[in-house]
Structure formats: C-alpha cells, structure tokens
C-alpha cells in the first residue's frame, strides 16, 4: 500500500452543487489513499459539510470587495494568509479545483515550492487567468472537448477525468402508468430551453390521449422573460430548484439536454443515466463523449428540433426500447462514472504531479 499523500484543495466555486463540488465531495469522502485539507474564499455549503465531517477547512475571504482598493487589499491579505497555511500544512500536492482558484493558488504554490494540479472545467477562460494557469505542473480536464481547447503545451500535461455521479436510490423501476420527459438546467437561451418548450407542445398535440408529463427543474421562468416564450402557456411543470436530483431523474423516463452552446461536460447527463432516464442530447461537446448514441442514449444536431422530436416520439411509442436503453444507461453510469472510478483516475494524476521534477 502506497504512502498517503497530503492534498491541499483550493476551491473557489460559488455554486458548487452544480459545478465541481459534488465530485470533489465524493472524492474526499470515499478516498482512503490521501489526506485532505481545504482553503475556500467564502463560507458555502461545501465548506460547512467538510468542516462538520472533521476536515481541516480554512476560509479566507476573497472576491466580494466593493471597490478596486478593497479588492487589492483583499488579494494581498489572501496571498499572505494562504502562503503561511501552505508552509504550515506542507502538502504533497495542491489541487486548484477550478480556474478561479488557480489564479491565486498557482503563484502561492510556486512561491512555496509545491506541486500544483489545476482542474479545468471550462473550455475558455480570461487571458489573465491563463497567465497564471500555464505555470501549473499538471492539469485535469473534465472532457476531451475541454482538453482539445488547450494549446499543445498545456494539452501535453493534461489528463481527462470525467466527473462522477452515483444514484443514492435502490429502486430505479419506472412508473409504467405514465411517461415523464424532463429537463434540468439554468433558465438560459444557451441551454436550449425554448427547444424543450417546443418539444413539449408538439408532443402534446400529437399524443393527446397519452399521459405524458413534462417537468423542468432549475428555476421558474417569469411571465415576462427574454427566453422567447410564455411559461404559463407551455405544457410543462416548472419545479424550480430541487435538492434531490436522484428523485427527480428516477421519476423521469427521458432526459432532454438541448443545449445550443458548448457544454464542457454535461453533469446532468450522468445524473440522468445513473437513475435510468434516457438522455437525448445535442451534439454540444461533453455529452457526445458520455452518450453511446443509440445504445445508452441519443444525440442530435444542435437546434435540430425535428430530429429531437423524432427521437422522443420513437422512445415514447416503444416500451421495450425504453427499457433497453434505460438499462444500458444505468450500466454505463456505474461502469464509467462511479465515485471509485473517479477517485482512481484523480489519484493517478496526483502521483504524476508529485513525480514532476522541480526546474
């Protein structure tokens, strides 16, 4: 058994539940091979959970200043306090859990002579962020789509590690008396919400005698909005924000991911698959790597609403196909997106970082 490594995680994620926090939380809770401690720039749900579970958590406020002078003072204060913490903790590896965290932790790591791994979850970031990130020892990308957006120098030092999600539910059997088509996303044009509304309207008009429920979680649209539709006229139940994504997807038969902009990974896809909901996603980046088209879900070209309609209709009228694809989705989620699989891959990156020779 190899010696445990001490990992210091910088996490500046504001909305950790839907970005990096879930995978990081599972990594820490289920990883017996490393010791973890954390630096956050603000108190949040993730920092509280980790603190309650006995991990060393330090919060150094940064990023909420009201003017440029206060921001500069906050920045200097953060650098000084975090540097002292790094010297005291003396980690084997520093893990910057997103690009924002890397902007501050990379200079500190270099100042303290520590190895740093930067987790990249977006295919683009500001030039000033890249100026700091490029000095990291190694990188993690959430998909090949993200990795391929890097220049050759960063790409050569990048490992692809997909995020993880395991359903907490035991019984994933679907309700045979009704069919539910669902979507989980922010309320934005980029997420293709208008395509979901169009789909719901067309399906209801075509299969009026069949009980089909359309549900959306992730916010409730105002009657006056810039999304291009009136929510009160759409045959969709708007659930707002929910705490239990597993229950949401367990009740769904089909998951619609109609994004019209690039998706770095597509966490919602693996959440749906883990709970037996069949993902139908646009070819928008990350989801193309997750879904085995025609086996564990389906893909369609961005904004091809006719193809989306045809795929949904095909699944709706064929119960055996629904059952087969649903089972395949669950099996693939267990095989490729489990906590253990994620931890093993991240640990391999930690080993590579620790072995990097100082210049």
Q: How far apart are CA 272 and CA 183, in angstroms?
A: 10
Q: CA dihedral in degrees (204, 209, 213, 214; nearest 10)?
A: 0
Whole-Å CA distances, 92 to 29, 170, 295, 303: 19, 38, 42, 47
Looking at the structure, tell me whether residues 35 and 106 fall in a common domain.
Answer: yes
Q: Are 290 and 146 in contact (CB under 8 A)?
A: no
Count of beta carbons in the 10 Å neighbourhood of residue 306? 11
| Confidence band of 281 (pLDDT split at 50, 70, 90) | very high
Q: How far apart are CA 274 and CA 265, in angstroms?
A: 15
Q: What are phi and psi of 186, to 5 degrees?
A: -70, 160
Looking at the structure, tell me whether residues 31 and 159 fall in a common domain.
Answer: yes
Looking at the structure, tell me whether residues 43 and 121 fall in a common domain.
Answer: yes
Q: Are 222 and 190 in contact (CB under 8 A)?
A: no
Q: Which helix (H) or strand (E) holds 306?
A: helix 305-316
Among the ranges 12-21, 94-103, 305-314, which has the highest mean pLDDT value? 305-314
What share of the chain has pLDDT > 70, as a percent? 91
- Pick 262 or 356 by higher pLDDT: 262
Beta-bridge mates of residue 10:
39, 96
Q: How far apart are CA 308 and CA 195, in angstroms?
A: 9
The stretch 105-111 carries a mean pLDDT of 93
Q: What are phi and psi of 355, to 5 degrees?
A: -85, -5
Residue 75 lies in a domain: yes
Number of helices (H), then strands (E), belonging to the chain: the values are 14, 13
Looking at the structure, tell me whether residues 257 and 156 fall in a common domain.
Answer: no
Q: How far apart are CA 12 and CA 98, in angstroms?
A: 7
Q: How far apart are CA 84 and CA 256, in angstroms?
A: 47
Looking at the structure, tell me whether residues 97 and 242 fall in a common domain.
Answer: no
Q: Are 117 and 137 in contact (CB under 8 A)?
A: yes
First to last CA, the chain: 29
pLDDT digits (tens, 9 = 90+) for 121-141: 887 776 777 778 889 999 999
The stretch 18-31 carries a mean pLDDT of 69
Looking at the structure, tell me whether residues 201 and 104 fall in a common domain.
Answer: no
Q: How far apart are CA 178 and CA 211, in angstroms?
A: 6
Q: What is the CA radius of gyration of the chain?
A: 22
Supply the pLDDT for residue 161.
94
Looking at the structure, tell me whether residues 332 and 342 fall in a common domain.
Answer: no
Query: Taking 50 as the threshold, does the pLDDT of residue 336 lie above it?
Result: yes
Residue 122 lies in a domain: yes
Looking at the structure, tell me whether residues 280 and 318 fall in a common domain.
Answer: yes
| Confidence band of 224 (pLDDT split at 50, 70, 90) | low
Please, what is the average pLDDT of the chain? Answer: 86
Residue 169 lies in a domain: no
Residue 171 lies in a domain: no
Supply the pLDDT for residue 359.
47
CATH code at 44?
A: 3.40.50.2000
Whole-Å CA distances, 157 to 50, 135, 154, 177, 285: 30, 11, 5, 51, 21
Query: Taking 60 as the threshold, does the pLDDT of residue 1 lie above it?
Result: no
Query: Taking 50 as the threshold, does the pLDDT of residue 319 lie above it?
Result: yes
Looking at the structure, tell me whether residues 40 and 160 fall in a common domain.
Answer: yes
Looking at the structure, tell me whether residues 277 and 254 fall in a common domain.
Answer: yes
Residue 359 lies in a domain: no
Looking at the structure, tell me whether residues 239 and 321 fall in a common domain.
Answer: yes
Domains in the chain, number? 2
The stretch 137-160 carries a mean pLDDT of 93
pLDDT digits (tens, 9 = 90+) for 159-211: 999 998 888 887 788 777 788 999 998 888 889 998 998 998 888 766 655 56
Residue 287 lies in a domain: yes
Residue 106 lies in a domain: yes
How far out from the chain centre does Cα 217 lie? 16
Query: Taking 70 as the threshold, does the pLDDT of residue 288 lie above it?
Result: yes
Supply the pLDDT for residue 16.
44
Supply the pLDDT for residue 228.
72
Range of the domain at 203: 179-336
How far out from the chain centre does Cα 344 lie? 18
Residue 170 lies in a domain: no
Looking at the structure, tell me whether residues 239 and 270 fall in a common domain.
Answer: yes
């Amino acid at each position: 058994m190899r010696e445990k490594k001490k990992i210091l995680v910088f996490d500046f994620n504001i909305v950790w539940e839907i970005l990096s926090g879930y995978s990081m939380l599972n990594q820490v809770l289920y990883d017996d091979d490393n010791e973890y401690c954390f630096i956050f720039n603000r108190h949040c749900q993730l920092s509280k959970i980790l603190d309650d579970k006995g991990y060393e958590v330090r919060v150094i406020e940064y990023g909420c200043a009201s003017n440029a002078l206060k921001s500069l003072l906050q920045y200097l204060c953060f650098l000084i306090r975090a540097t002292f913490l790094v010297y005291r903790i003396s980690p084997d590896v520093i893990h910057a859990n997103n690009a924002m965290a890397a902007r501050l932790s990379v200079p500190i790591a270099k100042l303290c002579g520590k190895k740093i791994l930067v987790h990249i979850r977006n295919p683009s970031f500001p030039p000033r962020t890249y100026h700091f990130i490029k000095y990291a020892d190694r990188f993690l990308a959430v998909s090949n789509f993200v990795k391929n957006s890097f220049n050759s120098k960063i790409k050569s030092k990048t490992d692809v590690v997909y995020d993880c999600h395991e359903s907490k539910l035991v019984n994933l059997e679907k309700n045979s008396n009704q069919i539910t088509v669902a979507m989980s996303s922010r309320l934005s044009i980029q997420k293709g919400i208008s395509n979901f509304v169009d789909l719901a309207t067309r399906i209801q008009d075509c299969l009026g005698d069949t009980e089909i429920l359309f549900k959306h979680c992730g916010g409730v649209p105002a009657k006056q909005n810039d999304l291009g539709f009136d929510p009160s006229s759409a045959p969709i139940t708007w659930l707002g924000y929910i705490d239990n994504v597993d229950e949401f997807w367990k009740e769904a038969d089909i998951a619609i991911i109609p994004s019209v902009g690039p998706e770095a990974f597509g966490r919602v896809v693996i959440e749906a698959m883990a709970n037996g909901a069949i993902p139908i996603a646009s070819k928008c980046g990350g989801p193309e790597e997750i879904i085995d088209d025609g086996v564990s879900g389906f893909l369609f070209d961005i904004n091809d609403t006719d193809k989306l309609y045809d795929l949904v209709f095909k699944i709706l009228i064929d119960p055996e196909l629904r059952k087969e694809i649903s089972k395949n989705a669950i099996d693939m989620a267990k095989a490729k997106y489990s906590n253990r699989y994620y931890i093993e891959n991240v640990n391999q990156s930690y080993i590579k970082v620790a072995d990097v020779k100082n210049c």
